[in-house]
Chains A and B, each alone.
Chain A
Amino acid sequence: MTNEQLIEHLSKAYPDEVALQGNQYPEITVSREILHAFMQNMKSDSNLSFDYLVCESGVDYPAFLQVVYHLESTTHKHFLVVKSNTENRETPALDSVSDIWPTAEFHEDEIFDLLGIKFNNHPHLRRLFLDETWGFPLRKDFYDDIHVVER
């Protein structure tokens, strides 16, 4: 499917969510309640069949945190970018997609370690690189005067 066909298909299927053309790939912003069902559809729908989660990363905005998923289909060769916001910065929580794409286990461990977003239904959420004495270093308001020399 081309980008325009993808956007049309998604807008028809999910009229509440905003689907538009980003810089390179179509983007869609999904609310966190239907995130898991949406991802399940993306994988199992035979027209779309996004079977490859390329990358999952977290973004820090002033009022909330966001997780961005890059999906690719190896059969149809199209891409999609899915974004999903958390409620607030104090208790960020999203549904885990590691039962759909197993690679998401490590990606979500890393996001939890460095940004602090908890994922529900994750098999074993743990701190990969840092330990409990560190905060969340990739947040914009991270301050640590022991280890960091500011410039």
Chain B
Amino acid sequence: MGIKKNKEFEINDFPILDQYEGGSIILTQLDALLNWSRANSVWPLTFGTRCCAIEFMAVGASRHDMARFGYEVARASPRQADMIIISGSINYKMAPVLKRLYDQIADPKYVIAMGACAVSGGPFFYNSYSIVKGADHVIPVDVYVPGCPPRPEALLYAFLQLQKKIKREKNFKTRIKK
């Protein structure tokens, strides 16, 4: 499957490397290296508004350790964080604050919506005047974790799913465009 065939639907950002036989292997391996290093060191921002924050703290404690996945330190400043775990329900008063924090995180950034309230409004979906019905009305979410609150093992599974998602990213590899 050479790159020079079917030029009308493939774009290549690194034409020089691909002229040589087997040049694209370098790009693929570079991509794998970059994704591996990004996925194994994702530092979350401390953002717990409600009961799910207790489960998040349990994941950070010693029994279900999140440091062994690389999610070692929960940074307090958004400039130093890679992702935000929305644990808890978001008010209409808290929503602009959440958006501002998300904007302050530098790319590449990821979001995990933890718990029923962050996924869809949860038990407060009906007849509540103050809870936003799902955190993805405010910021884009990558991984959703159901549960009220989710078990710490469920949150660790979400971390693994996020790692798989990061490892699928294509930065150097040939991007197919239709």
Contacts and interface: CB of A to CB of B under 8 A. Distances in A.
B119 to A, nearest CB: 15
Chain A binding site: helix, strand, loop or mixed by DSSP? loop
Interface in B65-121: 92-93
A151 B126 CA distance: 6
Chain B binding site: helix, strand, loop or mixed by DSSP? loop
Given A142-B129, A149-B133, A150-B127, 4 more contacts: A129-B93, A147-B130, A148-B127, A151-B126
Interface string B132-155: 010000000000000000000000
B57 to A, nearest CB: 26
Q: How large is the interface on B (under 10, 10 to 19, 20 to 34, 35 or more residues)?
A: under 10
B128 interface: yes
Contacts, number: 21
B93 A148 contact: no
A148 B129 CA distance: 5
B125 interface: yes
Contacts of A137: 129-130
A113 to B, nearest CB: 12
A149 B126 contact: yes
Among all A-B residue pairs, the 4 with the closest Cβ atoms: A151-B126, A137-B129, A148-B129, A147-B129
